[in-house]
Structure 1
Amino acid sequence: MKIAFLLGDAAISGGTYVILQHALYLKRIGHDVTIFFIYFNCKKWHEAFNNITFKYIYDYKNEHFDIAIATWWKTVFFLEKIKATQKLYFVQSIESFFINNSQFELKKEINSTYKINLPIITESSWIKNYLKKKYNSDATVVKNGIRKDYLFPPANGGLKRRVLIEGPVDVDFKNVPRTIALCKKYSSFEIWLLTSSPIKSFPGVSKVFSNIPAHQVGDIYRECDYIVKLSYVEGMFAPPLEMFHCGGTAIVYNVTGHEEYMFNNFNSIIIKESDEKALGNAIQSLEKDPKLLSKLKYNAIITASLWPDWSISSKNFSDAILAASTKQLHWENLYTSTKTSRFTLMSFLSKIPFFLTFYRKFCLNVMCPYLYPFLPNRGKRKKDIEL
């Protein structure tokens, strides 16, 4: 079958990794797979780049597909136009949650993509339940897999006295700069950072690993005892699960998606969102109580052993897209804002050549390390507003 994935950005991210894994599996079992991208400003960091055809998203016009799959809210607008017998939506999070509530029009556009009656596949039970409750839309859950050939426990399971923080430093809802500041405050362990941000150092961090290929991340996880992940929004976030596979445990906020595999005081420590005092207590408990740390690590390994690898996950994904029923689609429910963006200094400056490049570097090298760590709750999202 001819299958098209409509991808937002080909750069390194957990969500893109999931899409590439499923696409590569479909290619290897005999399907003709094409990935159409909106943005491609990265190195070839995944084996899919050498095995699958990638095309700019506007190049879809002269082709017909058996199945076309939107994977990001913006790609749904292209899905309407592409020629395909079956159209699907792979939803990895409720993406309007990533947007500040003040951006009403943008949130309305994003949420309109859930109102078309597209057959939906998702990776997490909370997303399935949310879509059913809010939009009366049914979704099939396919849990993400794990590369168990890369992610496995170390031969020496002793104490490393090292904590890992993961995530881009300039995405506010990932809350990475504040996480680093809190770990520096409460932890006596060495702090490492695994990030997709193009940085070489960060205050409070002894080692930065930037844009590391997927097959190398296990070596980093295995050198740490636990990961601290304090995101405010997630789909089914993988880093704690990856740490479980590599012999460590995790401290996280009770963010969406944690319930898929994390259990408080069994394989990890889960604390109430933004409760920084509880975070401090959790860090000190792990570092001062070897029995607690060993128990959580042991149970994390058990949890990891029960989790499917990518061969199982992607087979389930393949089964789900082939079994999806054809529905009457309501493209008229797609909403495109007609409001003209109001003038702002940033909108004016962004038109100046090279300004956005300069601004990104300024954010990464000044605002993220020296301002954001002192802003508690940066990126915090309230419950999604009614639209």
Structure 2
Amino acid sequence: MIRKVNNLVKKSVVIIKDDGAVRFVKRAAKYAYYKKFPDKKQQVYKDILFINGCTLPHPERYRVAHQMEQLMSQGLTVESVFYDRLSLDQLKYYRGFVFFRCPITDTIREFIKQAHYFNKTCFFDVDDLVIDQKYTDSIKYVQQMSVDDKQLYDDGVNRMRETLELCDHVVTTTAQLQEELQHYTKGEVLINRNVASDEMIKLSNLALEAVSKDNNKIIIGYFSGSITHNEDFDLVIPSLIKIFEKYPQVYLKIAGILDVPDALDPYKERLITSGFVDWRELPAVMAECDIVLAPLVDTIFNRAKSENKWVEAALVKIPTIASNIGAFAEKIQNNETGILVNNTDVEWFKALDLLVSDSVLRGKLADKAHEEIIHNYSTVYTGYSLASFIRKHLARNIGFILPSTDISGGVIVALKHADVLRRHGWDVTLIDAVSKHALKIAKKTYNYRYELPGFNVVAMHKTKMKAFFDTQVATLWSTVELVKKQPNVRNRLYFVQNFETDFYIPGTGEPRFLANASYCDQSGIRYITMSLWCQKWLKDVFHKESEYVSNGIDLELYPYRERDFTGKIKILIEGDSKSEYKNTDEAFRIVERLDPDKFEISYLSYRKEPKDWYRVDRFYNRIAPEKVGEVYASCDILIKTSIVESFSYPPLEMMATGGVSVVVPNGGNVEYLKDDYNCLFYRQGDIDAGVAAVEKLLNDKKLRDKIIKNGQKTAQAYQWSKLEQRIVDIYK
């Protein structure tokens, strides 16, 4: 709790410093409002979320803020959050995650587990070897910690390693780090060096314009980012003492966290000290120097460190003398963009003596280093490799735009496609396009399904889509325009599941016209369908090519039950009572003619209530998809009277459970239904024929057994497992 309060105070101070007190108050009020009313908050779907686990300002800035700037400059959308503010709900609003120095927590462990389930890539980012005690135990400062402090520090190191090992790939700063980190991951390790932000460059340019140096002084600067650098600074003390003795005009500026050694007491009048310098003020402070020192003791931990000091000094045209190890050795061109020295008193003194005595050389080195940094160490110019690495490792993502998450045949099939793609490595998002008005009406009558188990669902009216999508799929005519409006989508598909023009009677007006227009797209939408009937009229009527994959069935959800057809026979009717094309009234006209003492009537409807005149003994409303099979298995005969259907699931579902069906043939169901083979057909509108078909199934056991047997064969042939690869192929 104390840590959270301290972090909150630190963040508040930063906001006040950056944006002012008024802006801080507004942000605080906004945060409090959304904390109390989370449903009111507008969400944003972006590409990458950075999760920061570091409380130190400099690492967070370089590895979170600057890398975000790099990715934004390459067209990726990004956001960041402190690790103790991470919630599982954020998982669905991003394609990938970068964990910077994050120690493991229960939330992070579960977050990464779910990210892997949904094929969302997790990257670990680290800029120091703070991931194993075998590295950190070599730090002198750590060795001098108290037992309790050391135990706490080691716990953080070990927890950080656990997060690293759970992630898929790693991003780091130096070659030494890359080599060491490869032992902790099965994925790739990318070197993405620390670079300067646009703001750093701007502030450095302003510092260069404003600086006014005393020509009678030469100021050597040492800037320490943490208390662990005492040992490094000790390397240059003997040489500094000699320089002080030789050059009375030399001064030493020490900024940051450092214990100034007693050996420098005789020169305290020539020491300029300051505490930790905010990064915004650092360019002006550093620009007052003439030389910057960057000594590092040669340890594996230090060889993994970044070249930040050289970068920051070069931005304000100050030459650097650095230890010839690690990133300094890799990136500084000796005697061109800086001076590299081996860690001996002789070499440190020689380099210092050279630069103190030669102002022309100082200027030459500074100018060359400045040119190198401006061109090759700017966030805007250097983001390509990081963006490419992230894009390479992100899963292909697809968004299915649903008219709503309410149960319907079309939604269930779309969910099946979504699940198949997820199991084949796609990052799948369901985009609920229900309108605010429709949602308001729905809430008055039932509990709307905001979530679907096993899927990431985002509400379109509450979510701004800023991430890139490889593919988006319209699943009803009303969602086609929504797909077309999304700007950052590579492939746009329309999954046609019915002739939706005929969902509306003539005279309905605009909905009927727009439904028909959805088959006439000229913008490049690609059509796919699950019905040979749909494929045919798309080609014949609208001259649209389409790819086809049949619907299927999960037999484990539709358990087979042996029927003896004795006692009271259970009839099942399925369909929306208010839908013209479902023609549900006709099914109830048939059962009106059946003896109530011999037949029990069950009615299954996903949305509408039965009409007053319907004869219903059992009503099943809004049954969860995984429970529908139990309803079919509990009944003996299905009466299905739809006029317009693209595939028609109910007869197939009844077959799977061992029941029989009386069906009105239509363009969609004849794909797998055959009269007197796996069902009985009757002509739409012929109530007498419908009644006769029911009686025939009840009285003719031989016919009934044949239909049940062939129905089982049909159901076996239409298993989803046999269709999975075709589903994957049509989305490729």
1:198 and 1:230 mapped to 2: Cα distance?
17
Q: Which residue of 2 aligns with 1:194?
A: 604
**1:133 alignment counterpart:** 540
Superimposed CA distance per residue, residues 307-330 of structure 1 (whole angstroms, 9 cap, x where no aligned partner): 122x343432221011xxxxxxxx
2:623 to 184, 202, 212: 212
Distance 1:57 1:24, change over 3 A: farther
1:201 is displaced (CA, Å) by: 9.3
Amino acid at match of 2:502: F
Q: Which residue of 2 aligns with 1:378?
A: none
Report the Cα distance in structure 1 between the residues aligned to 2:426 and 2:504, rounded to whole angstroms.
36
The 5-angstrom pairing of residues 66-145 of structure 1 reads 66-82=470-486, 83-116=488-521, 117-145=524-552
| 2:431 matches 1:36 | yes
Contact 2:407 2:606 in 1 (8 A): yes
Q: What amino acid is the match of 1:162?
A: K
1:170 to 568, 575, 578: 578
Higher relative contact order (CA 8 A, sep 6+): 1
**Aligned partners of 2:557, 2:539: CA distance in 1, in Å?**
36
Q: Which residue of structure 1 lines up, in the alignment, with residue 411 of structure 2?
A: 16
Alignment of 1:310-325 (within 5 A): 311-322=721-732
Q: CA deviation at 1:48?
A: 4.2
SS at match of 2:555: coil
CA contact (8 A) 2:605 2:620 kept: yes
Amino acid at match of 1:74: S
Cα deviation 1:87-115 (Å, max 9, x = unaligned): 11100011001110223543222121111
1:158 pairs with one of 554, 561, 564:
564
Distance 1:251 1:35 in 2: 35
Deviates more, 1:242-251 or 1:207-216: 207-216
1:197 shift after superposition: 3.1
Does the 8 A contact of 2:499 with 2:644 survive in 1?
A: no
- Asked if the contact 2:572/2:637 (under 8 Å) is kept, the reply is yes
Q: Do the aligned partners of 2:470 and 2:490 also contact (CA within 8 Å) in 1?
A: yes
Question: Which one has a larger percent helix, Structure 1 or Structure 2?
Answer: 2
Aligned residue runs from structure 1 range 195-344, under 5 A: 195-197=605-607, 199=609, 203-309=614-720, 311-322=721-732
Structure 1 pair 121/43, CA: closer, same or farther in 2 (3 Å)?
A: farther
1:285–1:190 Cα change, 3 Å:
same
Q: Larger deviation: 138-147 or 216-225?
A: 216-225
Distance 2:608 2:536 in 1: 36
Q: C-alpha separation between the residues in 2 aligned to 1:51 and 1:38?
A: 15
Q: CA offsets, 1:168-187, max 9 Å, x none? A: 22223212233123213135
Task: Determine if contact 1:145/1:307 at 8 Å carries over to the other structure.
Answer: yes
Residue pair 2:420, 2:727 contacting (<8 A) in 1 also: no
1:304-356 deviations in Å (ceiling 9; x for gaps): 122122x343432221011xxxxxxxxxxxxxxxxxxxxxxxxxxxxxxxxxx
Correspondent of 1:185 among 573, 587, 593: 593
Q: Report the TM-score, using the length of structure 2 for normalisation.
A: 0.42
**Counterpart residue type for residue 466 of structure 2:** N
3-state DSSP of counterpart to 1:120: strand
Contact 2:398 2:426 in 1 (8 A): yes
Counterpart CA distance in 2 for 1:27 and 1:48 is 14
Contact 1:151/1:218, CA 8 A, preserved across alignment: yes
Contact 1:168/1:197 (8 A) holds in 2: yes
Q: How many residues align?
A: 320
Q: Is the 8 A contact 1:200 1:210 kept in 2?
A: no
Q: SS at 2:525's partner residue? A: coil
- Secondary structure of 2:639 counterpart: strand
Tell whether the 8 Å contact from 1:36 to 1:56 is kept in structure 2 after alignment: yes
Q: Is the 8 A contact 2:430 2:455 kept in 1?
A: no
Distance of 1:225 and 1:143 partners within structure 2: 26
Report the CA distance between 1:243 and its aligned residue.
0.3
8 A Cα contact 1:221 1:246, kept in partner: yes
Which residue of the partner structure matches residue 397 of structure 2?
2
| Mean CA deviation greater in 299-308 or 10-19 | 299-308
Q: 1:121 to 1:57 in 2, by over 3 A?
A: farther
The equivalent residue for 1:56 is: 460
Task: Name the structure 1 match of 2:13.
Answer: none
Aligned to 1:353: none
Q: Quote the offset at 1:280 in angstroms.
A: 1.9
CA contact 2:652–2:715 (8 Å) conserved in 1? yes
* C-alpha spacing 1:60/1:143, structure 2 compared with 1 (3 Å): farther
CA RMSD in angstroms, aligned pairs only: 2.3
8 Å Cα contact 1:68-1:88 kept in structure 2: yes
Question: How many angstroms apart in 2 are the aligned matches of 1:46 and 1:17?
Answer: 15
Cα separation, 1, equivalents of 2:450 and 2:661: 26
Deviations 1:149-169 (A, max 9, x none): 111311x33226211111222
Change (3 A) 1:23 1:44: farther
Q: Which residue of 2 aligns with 1:357?
A: none
Task: Name the CA distance, whole Å, in 1 between partners of 2:449 and 2:635.
Answer: 24
> Which amino acid letter does the alignment assign opposite residue 14 of structure 1?
G
1:198 deviates by 5.7
SS at match of 1:190: strand
Looking at CA atoms only, which structure, 1 or 2, has the larger radius of gyration?
2
CA gap of 1:58–1:85, structure 2 versus 1, over 3 A, is farther
Change (3 A) 1:87 1:197: closer
Letter in 1 for 2:425: G
Deviations 1:30-52 (A, max 9, x none): 22221211226575879944432
Deviation at 1:58, TM superposition (A): 6.5
Report the residue type matching 1:118 in the other structure.
Answer: I
